[in-house]
Structure formats: C-alpha cells, structure tokens
C-alpha cells in the first residue's frame, strides 16, 4: 500500500506541477459548456432540455483530452519500464495512475458540473442526480480510458486512435448518466440508472486494471 500511495501522490504532484493535462481538460470543459448556448440560442426551455446531455458530453471529451498523459510521458522517459519492474503489481500501478487521473481531472469536473448545469438552466431537482451520476461515472471514464491509453502507448500520433477506441465505450456511461438526471427531474427517480452506473464502476474496477496492465506488458515487450 505504501508503494501504491507513493505512486498516487507522485502522479498527482506531477499533474499539478506541470498543469497541462488537468488544466487543459477543465478549461475545455468550461469553454465547451459555456459556448454551447451560442450555437443553439439562449432560450431557457431549450437549454433546460439539453443541459444534462451537454454537461455529460463536455465531460467525456474533457476526460478524453487528458488521457494521453496517463502512460505516455512515463513511457517516453523510461519510468514505465522501471514501474513494471517494481514489486508493486502492474495492475495496482495502473489503478494508482487511474486514481490520480480521476483526482486531478474527474474531481474538478465534478465540482464544476453543477455550476455549469445551472448556467444551462438545468432544473434544480436534477442537481443531486447530476452529482451522484458524475461521482459514479467519472471514475469509469478514467479506468476505461486507461485501457485505451495503454493500448496506444508508444504509438506515434496515437491520440486519434485513442479517441476511436475509447469513445464507443463511453456511450453507456453517457446514456445512463443523462437518464439519471432526466429521471430525477421528471419525478420517475434516478435510482435505477445510478445502480447501473454503480455496476459499471464495479466492473471497471475489477476488469479495467487487468486489461490495461496486459496492454502495457504487450507494448513494453
């Protein structure tokens, strides 16, 4: 656990020190949401109807924007080879990196989402569901994204390939995340959709680190 915590703290420190990945993701998230009304018009009814979807799509794209920093920098400077040789299993190394990615990207998105949702005239009744859905959904984005990042590590101009691999896997999170908010607003309840997101999160935690670690071993060999 000490090695896990040290790796987590190292990645969080590097993210805040360099600032590029996390800061760029948050800036993109805020700009994408705030610019959206300029494209469809400022009508409160229209914004309220599409607000949940806009916030979630912007969060997906912002997360995708920061995924390449998960393994690529360590691969380029040789740190990834050293991490693979440490006593800490590579699966736990991947999990620590995913946790650091979520802490530096997912948590700021989680904090900013309700404010941006209010700017889009989202019904206040849906804010609780938005927070819970993003609390469950953003870790899934980091873990699933780690699989794509591991598959494309070392690939020249792998950003486009990473997007193609990961975006289809993000669709279920988008569907149930938006459905939870709509259910809360309409009075039908968000619980079924949140339970599905919780199941997705448990599945991602169980399978994601293994798949990412297998991909890293393949690329390191």
Burial (0-12, 13-18, 19+ Cβ within 10 Å), 5: exposed
Phi, psi angle pair for 190, to nearest 5°: -100, -10
Q: What is the tens place of the pLDDT at every residue in 95-131?
A: 999 998 898 888 989 998 988 888 888 888 888 899 9
Q: What is the tens place of the pLDDT at every residue in 2-27?
A: 888 888 888 888 777 765 556 788 88
Identify the helix (H) or strand (E) that includes residue 68. none
Cα→Cα distances 41→32, 119, 174, 186, Å: 14, 13, 23, 24
Query: Would you list the domain boundaries of the chain?
Result: 2-220
**Torsion sign over Cα 13, 17, 23, 24:** negative
Q: What is the tens place of the pLDDT at every residue in 70-101?
A: 887 778 777 787 888 888 888 898 999 999 88
Q: What is the tens place of the pLDDT at every residue in 51-70?
A: 888 999 999 998 888 887 78
Residue 32 tokens read as 């994408």
Identify the helix (H) or strand (E) that includes residue 9. helix 2-18
pLDDT of residue 19: 58
pLDDT of residue 122: 85
pLDDT of residue 194: 94
What 3-state class would DSSP assign to 121?
coil
pLDDT of residue 23: 74
Burial (0-12, 13-18, 19+ Cβ within 10 Å), 187: exposed
pLDDT band with cut points at 50, 70 and 90 for residue 196 = very high
Identify the helix (H) or strand (E) that includes residue 172. helix 159-186
pTM confidence score: 0.88
């Amino acid at each position: 656990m000490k090695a896990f915590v040290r790796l987590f703290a190292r990645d969080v420190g590097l993210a805040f020190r360099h600032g590029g990945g996390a800061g760029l993701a948050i800036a993109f998230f805020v700009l994408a949401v705030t610019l959206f009304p300029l494209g469809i018009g400022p009508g409160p009814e229209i914004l309220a109807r599409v607000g949940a979807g806009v916030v979630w799509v912007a969060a997906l794209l912002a997360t995708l924007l920061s995924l390449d920093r998960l393994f690529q920098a360590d691969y380029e400077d040789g740190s990834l080879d050293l991490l693979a040789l440490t006593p800490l299993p590579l699966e736990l190394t991947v999990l620590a990196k995913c946790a650091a990615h979520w802490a530096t990207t997912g948590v700021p998105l989680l904090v900013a989402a309700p404010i941006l949702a209010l700017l889009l005239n989202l019904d206040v009744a849906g804010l609780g569901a938005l927070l819970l859905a993003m609390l469950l959904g953003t870790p899934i984005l980091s873990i699933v994204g780690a699989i794509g990042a591991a598959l494309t590590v070392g690939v020249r101009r792998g950003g486009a390939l990473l997007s193609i691999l990961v975006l289809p896997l993000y669709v279920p999170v988008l569907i149930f995340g938006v459905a939870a908010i709509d259910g809360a607003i309409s009075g039908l309840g968000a619980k079924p959709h949140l339970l599905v997101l919780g199941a997705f999160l448990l599945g991602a935690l169980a399978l994601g680190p293994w798949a990412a670690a297998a991909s890293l071993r393949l690329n390191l060999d």
